[in-house]
Amino acid sequence: MNKDLLLYEKSQPGRRTLRLGRLDVPAADLSALPAGALRRTPPDLPELGELELVRHYVRLSKKNVSIADSFYPLGSCTMKYNPVLNEAATAIPGFNAIHPLQDSGRVQGALAVMKRVADALAAVTGLPGVTLHPAAGAQGELTALLVAHRHFVETGQKQRKMVLIPDSAHGTNPASASIAGLQAVEVASGPDGLVDLDDLAAKLGEDTAVFMITNPSTLGLFETKIAKISEMVHAAGGLVYMDGANLNAILGVARPADFGVDMMHINLHKTFSTPHGGGGPGAGPICVTQELERYLPSPRVVEEEGGLRLDYDTPYSIGMLRGWAGNFGVLLRAYCYIRRLGAEGLLRVAQNAVLNANYLRVKLRGAFHVPYDRMCMHEFVCNTKNQREQGIHAVDVAKRLIDLGHHPMTIYFPLVVSEAMMIEPTETEAKETLDAFVADMLLIAEEAKHEPEKLHAAPVTTPVGRLDEGRAVKDPVLCYTCSH
């Protein structure tokens, strides 16, 4: 029996799962609709009974590797445990069956959750202005760049359009600058992996709007000179933006406001344990200085006598980047996480995340080259330099790891390290899991010497082997019914 059929291949005319009860009002009068409004051909959706539907998605789920079944040291993504209670919280009718246009007096619980999350983020970052509106980290970046530019326009500095970004930055940073209508300029990294201050100085000027810095960096290193960098950017009249994707490493240890950061985003789907869901949804709140707060997107949660309210009447605001106030369900999960941990727990998160990462670094550095081999933060980058002669690439190590029962690390990012393998274990992993991963990585290093073909052939335990990604572009099949 072929268990790999698609929904459309299982579909049988006349079947369905969703069936409503009897209509309690007269049937719809379709002739009342405007001429031409009716659909001529029904949408070609698959037709399945409930049992087949269940089997289909249960089987699909088994073809995923997830945190729930495997170690998932995907660098930059903070794949920590996603507490099950937080999922249950979102199913409570008082949170789930509420409409964003209800009278504020009838949704004080939801507004309180939002307010408390915002307060906690302000505490963690030291930046008082918080918006929970952005849908993900990249949208947080865009929001902040629009805030910055609005600030410059309001203060008569319209010419500031350059966004300086280190070469080690995530792709969303330059992409956000472009989408915002600003211009991305690359700043080089020095030999220590940190920002090259000479290059930064040369690029700062009257046209500088924002310097976007990821700290800890994508190499897992803290920018030791961050205070000096902020000073330089401020002296040139620019603002400092921090990509907070790596905030997990410094929770309770250091606050970005204290090193001169003016604005930053936080990926709640990384640091605050909300699940990634195969690619989303996330939430990318941004925190800004008091000076910039009035430009934040609409609506804002405001506290007044009589309670909390969503304020859409925000005259200085840059506007909206999506519908409604934010991804409430994601904010609620983050709330649960913050409440479980408290201040002390958040500090323990950072400490254990950094310990786990350094433990892996020292255990792996003999077998794999670690270009910046010093104390790291929550992650570190190694590569396949030692395996080059055997023709082994990062992708081969990654695929072999799948066969050995782990999800691979992030590969080929950051771009400043060739054949990069970026490893972030997170604080929620136990020592024995890390030890098992180390043993398998050392095994791979041995195999690279003696049986490199085993690495090239991997993975062999998965539903499919390495896929022909070139063909997917040359001969695109993006839709089942369109190709039949």
Partner 1 sequence: MPFIQNTDADRAAMLAAVGVKTLEDLFEGIPAELRHKGPLPIDAGLSEDELWSELQELASWNSTTTAGCFLGAGMYRHWWPRVVDALQGRQEFVTAYTPYQPEASQGTLTAFFEFQTMVAALTGMEVANASMYDGSSAAAEAVVMAANLTRGRDKVVVSRGVHPHTRRTITTYLEWTGLEVVEAPLGADGRTELGGLLDDKTCALVVQSPNTLGVIEDGAAQAAAAKQAGAISVACVYPIALGLLESPGAQGFDVAVGDGQSLGVPTAFGGPSFGLFATRLANVRRMPGRIVGQTVDGQGRRGFALTFQTREQHIRRAKATSNICTNNALIALRGAIYMAAAGPAGLREVAEHCLAKTQYAARELEALPGFSLRYGAGASFNEFVLDCPVPAAQVNRAVDAAGMIGGFEIGRWYPELGPNALLLAFTELTTRREIDALVRTLAPLAAAATVA
Ligand X SMILES: Cc1ncc(COP(=O)(O)O)c(C=O)c1O
Tell which positions 138-157 bind ligand X, by CB under 6 A: 138
Residue 388's binding partner, choosing from partner 1, ligand X, none, with beta-carbon cut-off 5 to 8 A by kind? none
Q: Is the peptide bond before 299 cis (omega within 30 degrees of 0)?
A: yes
- Which H or E run contains 183? strand 183-187
Calculate the alpha carbon distances from 248 to 148, 354, 364, 444 in Å: 25, 9, 22, 29
Nearest CB to partner 1, comparing residues 201 and 253: 253
> Of 48, 72, 74, 76, which one interacts with ligand X (CB under 6 A)?
76
Beta-bridged to residue 301, according to DSSP, are: 310
- Least distance from ligand X to the Cβ atom of residue 367, Å: 26
- Least distance from partner 1 to the Cβ atom of residue 484, Å: 10
Q: Which stretch binds ligand X (CB under 6 A): 132-140, 297-305, 314-322, 323-331?
A: 132-140
Q: Is 218 in the site for ligand X (CB under 6 A)?
A: yes
- Least distance from partner 1 to the Cβ atom of residue 186, Å: 9
Residue 1's binding partner, choosing from partner 1, ligand X, none, with beta-carbon cut-off 5 to 8 A by kind? none
- Least distance from ligand X to the Cβ atom of residue 286, Å: 12
Beta-bridged to residue 382, according to DSSP, are: 421
For the chain, how big is the Rg over CA atoms in Å?
25
Interface with ligand X in residues 283-302 (CB under 6 A): 284
Neighbour tally for 300: CB within 10 Å: 23
Q: Is 349 in the site for ligand X (CB under 6 A)?
A: no
Nearest CB to ligand X, comparing residues 260 and 284: 284
- Among candidate residues 272, 263, 342, 248, the one with its CA nearest the CA of residue 296: 263
CA distance 381 to 370: 6
Phi, psi of 322 (to 5 degrees): -175, 175
Residue 12's binding partner, choosing from ligand X, partner 1, none, with beta-carbon cut-off 5 to 8 A by kind? none
- Which H or E run contains 213? strand 208-214
Residue 24's binding partner, choosing from partner 1, ligand X, none, with beta-carbon cut-off 5 to 8 A by kind? partner 1
Residue 243's binding partner, choosing from ligand X, partner 1, none, with beta-carbon cut-off 5 to 8 A by kind? ligand X
- Least distance from partner 1 to the Cβ atom of residue 273, Å: 8
Nearest CB to partner 1, comparing residues 147 and 449: 147
CA distance 294 to 317: 6
Nearest CB to partner 1, comparing residues 295 and 389: 295
- Among candidate residues 5, 1, 2, the one with its CA nearest the CA of residue 57: 5
CA distance 124 to 293: 17
Residue 418's binding partner, choosing from partner 1, ligand X, none, with beta-carbon cut-off 5 to 8 A by kind? none
Q: Is 424 in the site for ligand X (CB under 6 A)?
A: no
Residue 281's binding partner, choosing from ligand X, partner 1, none, with beta-carbon cut-off 5 to 8 A by kind? partner 1
Nearest 5 degrees, angle CA 30-CA 35-CA 36? 95
End-to-end CA distance of the chain: give it in Å, rounded.
22
Phi, psi of 310 (to 5 degrees): -90, 120
Nearest CB to partner 1, comparing residues 343 and 389: 343
Per DSSP, the three-state class of 328 is helix
- Least distance from ligand X to the Cβ atom of residue 56, Å: 28
Nearest CB to partner 1, comparing residues 279 and 449: 279
With contact defined as beta carbons under 8 Å apart, do 422 and 407 qualify?
no
Residue 159's binding partner, choosing from partner 1, ligand X, none, with beta-carbon cut-off 5 to 8 A by kind? none
- Least distance from partner 1 to the Cβ atom of residue 410, Å: 8
- Least distance from ligand X to the Cβ atom of residue 76, Å: 4
Residue 476's binding partner, choosing from partner 1, ligand X, none, with beta-carbon cut-off 5 to 8 A by kind? partner 1
* Residue number, nearest CB to ligand X: 137
Question: For residue 233, how far is the Cα from the chain centroid?
Answer: 27
Residue 97's binding partner, choosing from partner 1, ligand X, none, with beta-carbon cut-off 5 to 8 A by kind? partner 1
Residue 45's binding partner, choosing from ligand X, partner 1, none, with beta-carbon cut-off 5 to 8 A by kind? partner 1
Nearest CB to partner 1, comparing residues 449 and 471: 471
> Of 245, 266, 318, 349, which one interacts with ligand X (CB under 6 A)?
245
CA distance 365 to 357: 12
Residue 412's region, left for phi above 0, alpha for psi from -120 to 50, else beta, is left
With contact defined as beta carbons under 8 Å apart, do 296 and 317 qualify?
yes
User: Could you give the count of Cα atoms lying within 13 Å of 73 in the half-sphere of its Cβ?
Assistant: 31
CA distance 78 to 6: 32
Q: Is 242 in the site for ligand X (CB under 6 A)?
A: no
CA distance 71 to 66: 8
Residues contributing to the site for ligand X (CB under 6 A): 76, 136-138, 170, 172, 214, 218, 243, 245, 267, 282, 284
